[in-house]
């Protein structure tokens, strides 16, 4: 997978949104618009990605969105802005989407998709255990998966804020 196309579409959409809403923008409106219109271009097909080396360039683009909207220094870590805006880092968003995608395949009613999801069950269980989710494809709802990932991010972020 080549991330350059997705990143250029992301930046193109971001620039369009920021040009339309102008310099006297409400930051939270800008964040909401970027999540609604730019994030899908950046994460298209992320559920099936196997190579994580492309994630770094995409994470830089995702972090630059916060820096640009809030006029922050490019060297600052945007983790506090994530928390303030009720948003997740890109790696957490991908980790959130993957179990939901495989869960939909598992419960689709198609025997081929069910078999494929069953083969990948071990990988999804390992990913979900990182966030305290113990049955990602069977009994856990999509809301619970999102909540567990948010709580893990919040817990880790609060620990980082206490250290600083």
88 pLDDT higher than 60: yes
Do 96 and 66 lie in one domain? The reply is no
CA distance 116 to 151: 29
Between 123 and 8, where is the model more confident?
A: 8
Residue 36: C-alpha distances to residues 3, 31, 57, 81, 112 (Å): 20, 9, 20, 18, 32
Do 106 and 55 lie in one domain? The reply is no
pLDDT of residue 36: 93
For the chain, what is the domain count?
A: 2
Closest by CA to 65, choosing from 94, 41, 98, is: 41
Residue 132: inside a domain: yes
159 pLDDT higher than 90: no
Q: What is the mean pLDDT of residues 65-84?
A: 82
pLDDT in tens, 122-132: 777 787 788 88
Do 52 and 92 lie in one domain? The reply is no
Instruction: Supply the range of the domain harboring residue 98.
Output: 88-164
Between 63 and 52, where is the model more confident?
A: 63
Residue 155: inside a domain: yes
Choose one of 76, 98, 129: the last residue of a domain.
76
Residue 81: inside a domain: no
26 pLDDT higher than 70: yes
Burial 126-147 (b: 16+ CB within 10 A, else e): ebbeebebeebbeebeeeebbe
Residue 82: inside a domain: no
Residue 107: inside a domain: yes
pTM of the model: 0.80
């Amino acid at each position: 997978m080549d991330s350059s196309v997705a990143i250029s579409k992301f930046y193109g959409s971001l620039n369009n949104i920021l040009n339309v809403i102008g310099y006297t923008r409400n930051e939270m409106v800008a964040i909401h618009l970027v999540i609604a219109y730019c994030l899908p271009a950046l994460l298209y097909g992320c559920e099936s990605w196997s190579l994580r080396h492309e994630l770094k360039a995409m994470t830089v683009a995702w972090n630059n969105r916060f820096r640009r909207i809030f006029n922050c220094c490019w060297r600052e870590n945007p983790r506090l802005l994530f928390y303030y805006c009720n948003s997740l880092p890109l790696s957490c968003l991908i980790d959130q989407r993957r179990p939901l995608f495989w869960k939909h395949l598992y419960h689709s009613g198609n025997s081929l998709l069910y078999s494929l999801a069953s083969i990948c069950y071990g990988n999804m269980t390992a990913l979900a255990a990182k966030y305290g989710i113990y049955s990602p494809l069977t009994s856990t709802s999509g809301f619970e998966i999102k909540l567990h990932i948010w709580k893990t991010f919040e817990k880790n972020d609060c620990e980082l804020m206490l250290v600083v």
